[in-house]
Amino acid sequence: MPSAATTDRSPLLRPRIFADVPSITAGMSTRHGGVSGPPYDTLNLGRHVGDTASCVEENRRRFCASLDTDPAWLATAGQVHGSTVRVIDAPRHEPFCDGLVTTTPGLLLAIAVADCAAVLLADPEHGVAGACHAGWRGAVRKIAVDTVATMTGHGAVPDQIRAYVSPCLSQEAFEVGPEVAAQFDDAVVAQPEDADRPHVDLKAALRRQLEAAGVPGDAIEVSRRCTLQETDHFFSYRAADDATGRMFGAITLRP
Q: What is the pLDDT along the chain (255 residues), one digit of tens a residue?
A: 223 344 588 999 999 999 999 999 999 999 999 999 999 999 999 999 999 999 999 999 999 999 999 999 999 999 999 999 999 999 999 999 999 999 999 999 999 999 999 999 999 999 999 999 999 999 999 999 999 999 999 999 999 999 999 999 999 999 999 999 999 999 999 999 988 999 999 999 999 999 999 999 999 999 999 999 999 999 999 999 889 999 999 999 999
In this structure, the chain runs to a length of 255
Rounded distance between C-alpha atoms, residue 227 and residue 172, angstroms: 11
Can you tell me whether residue 204 is helix, strand or coil? helix
What is the model's pLDDT at position 176?
Answer: 97
| Cβ contact 125:92 at 8 Å | no
What is the model's pLDDT at position 6?
Answer: 43
Rounded distance between C-alpha atoms, residue 201 and residue 78, angstroms: 25
Strand partners, 2: none
Rounded distance between C-alpha atoms, residue 91 and residue 74, angstroms: 5
- pTM value is 0.96
Other Cβ atoms less than 10 A from the Cβ of 240: the count is: 15
| Cβ contact 163:218 at 8 Å | no
What is the model's pLDDT at position 2?
Answer: 28
Identify whether 22 is preceded by a cis peptide bond (ω within 30 of 0).
no
What is the model's pLDDT at position 5?
Answer: 41
| Cβ contact 176:199 at 8 Å | yes
Q: What domains appear along the chain, each with residue ranges and CATH number?
A: 4-253 (3.60.140.10)
DSSP 50-102: S--HHHHHHHHHHHHHHTT--GGGEEEEE--SS--EEE--SSSEEES-SEEEE
